[in-house]
Every structure is written in structure tokens, then in C-alpha cells.
Amino acid sequence: MKLIIERDSFLKSLSKVQGIVEKRNAVPILSNTLLRADGNSLEIIATDLEVTIMDKCPVDLHTEGVLTLNAKKLYDIVRELGEGPVYLEADDDFHVEIKSGKSRYDLMGMGADDYPKIPDPSEYSFVQVPADTILEMAGKTIYATAGEEARFSLNGIFTEKLEEDKGLRMVATDGHRLALIERDMENVSDLEFEKGVILPRKGMAEAMKILEESEGNVGFVIQEKTAALSVDHTLLSMRLVDGKFPDYRRVIIEGCDKRAVVNKEELIKNLRRSGIMVDEKARAVKFTFKKGMLLLESKNPTQGSSYNEMEIEYDSEEMSIGFNDRYFLDIMSATKSEKILVDLRDEQSPAIVRLEEDPNYTCVVMPMRM
């Protein structure tokens, strides 16, 4: 392999795969990125067997070839090089020389024979969907997914078609909170899945990075046990989470007859003040809703307590209920809305949180014992 590539283009492609590669991996070759040079492009690939990213960038190619290099080390090298052309040359034993300006690096690579099989883009039947809509839906749900220590089926975003194929619904929950968003979308009927699927958290986090730089429509597909996203010269594929998602409809309770209208920025400020004194394990803040006022109280058994109050729109009976402060902060960080609506039923029931201008976005926060 012998080629010349612009440093900025090379770095941009390498940055896209960094989130996929595990720094410490039981399978050494999975710490590498696959470089495949042919035609007039260099294909850069990384996978952890669950999520795969492929990106292409233009090169001045002298000799075709394929090999793998440590992804982190290669990225660090290219990041520190100056602007301009980068010269990359590899011999038959996968010794790689990288030169730019007066800098030179020698790296030991590995062959590609043991690298996992990579999805073939031609096998996907992509449907064009708006990038900003998918990005918004993922951003407003991904924070509510569970960590890896929880039930496997909760470590992702449940996705299904709306009735009559009018759009998509995405739902995420960790058992303590839930986020649900619905958006109308054309071409949904062309997506080849009937029942809901679970898109993995890691794959969707990487998808969001790609979508943030995208405009217009992007290719999206869900078929068999895989979902994929195609944006310009980048392809991301992810293995669907295998499991049954819980019945989220049971969590969105009816009969909430009390509503508080709360200024988002004021609530953020007061929750941060209260968060200074919470017990780090429980993170419980006592919310007391009074006519025209919200009181926020937190206690730390060994350090002290805090008390903050703010004005809100509320005209029902007084109610005190405990919530994890971070759950509310996560909701508010995912939206640009100026006000949030908090619907309540009683001290033992969850709060239903909505946005004033978006009836198709619903969050649920479970109460805590104080």
C-alpha cells in the first residue's frame, strides 16, 4: 500500500471510528482500524462486532493494499501532524511508514485476514429520512436508556412505526424514568420491519455524532437483525438488541389532575443548587408544589441540607414528592423549550413531564421515598 492523503480529511475519517474501538479488547485486532486502499479512495473501518463504521476519503493512490493499524495510535499520530499531505507506505510485512513535513512515524500493523467480516452496503435497501428528525428523536430518548449492568433489553431505544405508517415512535427507559417521542415522517412504509425493534445505545450514540454534521435526508434501514445509516461517504451499521422491550404504555398513567407549569432555566438553576447537598447514592430532592411556588429540599446525612424556592404556575392542593434531580436535568438538557409541564396525581405516582409546545414528547419520572 502506498498513498498520499490530506491530513484534515484523514483525521476527520479516523475521528469517526474512535468511539467504536475498545481501548482494551480481548481480541487484539478489534483495537485496530482496517485500512483498504483501492481506486481513488481509502476506506477506514472499525467494529466491535456490534457496531461498525465505514468511512471513505479521497487519496492519491500509488499502490493498492489492505491492512490494520492500532486505531488510537494512528489517530493520535495524524492529529499531531501539521496541515498538508500525509504520505503512507506499507510493505508486505505490514510495517507502515507515515510521513508529513519533517515528521516520520514507523508503525507495526497486522494483516486483514483475521479482521471480522464487514457488512456489505449493497445488501441494504436504504430509505431516505430527514437527518434532523432522527437526530432529535434519538437525542430526546437516549439519556433514558439503561446502563450495561441493567436488563439487556433496556440498553437501547425501542423503535416502532406509528399507526398507518405515518411516522416513527422511539421509547427508552431504565426502569426509573421513560422518554417517548413521536414524529410524522414520509417513506416510513418503505422501512422493512413490522414489529418494534431495539436500537442499541452505543450504535445510536455514534449515529448522533454523524447526524449532527448532516443536512437534508439520510439513508436509514432496519432489516433482519441489523439497522444501518448511510450519510454521504459514511456507513454505520448496528446489531439490534435481542430482547423484549417492556410495555411502556403501562407507565404513562392516566388521571393526573394537577399541573405545574415551570420555567426550564429557573428549574435548572435551582436543581443545581439543591444538587450540591444531595446524598450522592440516592440523589433524592424533595419537590413541594404549593400555589404559585415550588420548594426544593435536599439533605446529606453527614454534610447538611439545602432549601430553594421558585415561582411556578400551580393552583392545586399542596403536594410533596421525591425525585432524582438528574432525571429532570436530563429532560431539560434534551430540549430547547422555555417551559415544561409537570402533571401529577399523588405522592406515590410518577410525574408525567411534557413540553408546552410539543404534545408528542412525553417523559415519565418515578417518585422516590424521602
Would you state the CATH architecture of domain 2-108? Roll (3.10)
Q: What is the DSSP string of 178-189?
A: EEEEEEE-TTGG
Q: Mention every residue, 6+ apart, whose C-beta is less than 8 A from residue 231.
A: 131, 210, 211, 213, 214, 218, 219
Question: 74 near 107, Cβ under 8 Å?
Answer: yes
| C-alpha–C-alpha distance, residues 202 and 206, integer Å | 6
Can you give the residue ranges of every domain in the chain?
Answer: 2-108, 125-248, 252-365
pLDDT score recorded for residue 318? 97
Tens of pLDDT along the chain (370 residues) come to 999 999 999 999 999 999 999 877 778 899 999 999 998 999 999 999 999 999 999 999 999 999 999 999 999 999 999 999 999 999 999 999 999 999 999 999 999 999 999 988 888 999 999 999 999 999 999 999 997 666 788 999 999 999 999 999 999 999 999 999 999 999 899 998 989 999 999 999 999 999 998 999 999 999 889 999 999 999 999 999 998 999 999 999 999 999 999 999 999 999 999 999 998 888 999 999 999 999 999 999 889 999 999 999 999 999 999 999 999 999 999 998 999 999 999 999 999 999 988 989 999 999 998 7
Q: Tell me, what amino acid is at 79? A: R
What is the spatial distance between Cα 73 and Cα 89, in angstroms, rounded to a whole number?
16
Q: Which residue has the cell 419537590?
A: 287
- Helix or strand run (H / E) with residue 103: strand 103-108
Bridge partners for 261 per DSSP: 313, 341
Structural element, H or E, at residue 209: helix 201-211
Report the length, in residues, of the chain. 370
* Helix or strand (DSSP H, E) at 77: helix 71-80
**3-state SS class at 139:** helix
**What pLDDT is recorded for position 16?**
94
Question: According to the model, what pLDDT value does residue 149 have?
Answer: 63
Cβ neighbors of 17 (< 8 A, separation 6 or more) are 33, 44, 45, 46, 53, 55, 71
Longest dimension (CA), the chain: 78
Q: What is the pLDDT of residue 356?
A: 86
Quote the Cα angle for 245-248-251, to 5°.
140
Domain 125-248 has CATH 3.30.1330.60: no
Q: How far is CA 9 from the centre of its chain?
A: 24
**Same fold? 125-248, 252-365:** yes
CB 260 within 8 A of CB 342: yes
Contact between residue 55 and residue 75 where contact means Cβ atoms under 8 Å apart: no
Superfamily of domain 252-365 in CATH is DNA Polymerase III, subunit A, domain 2 (3.10.150.10)
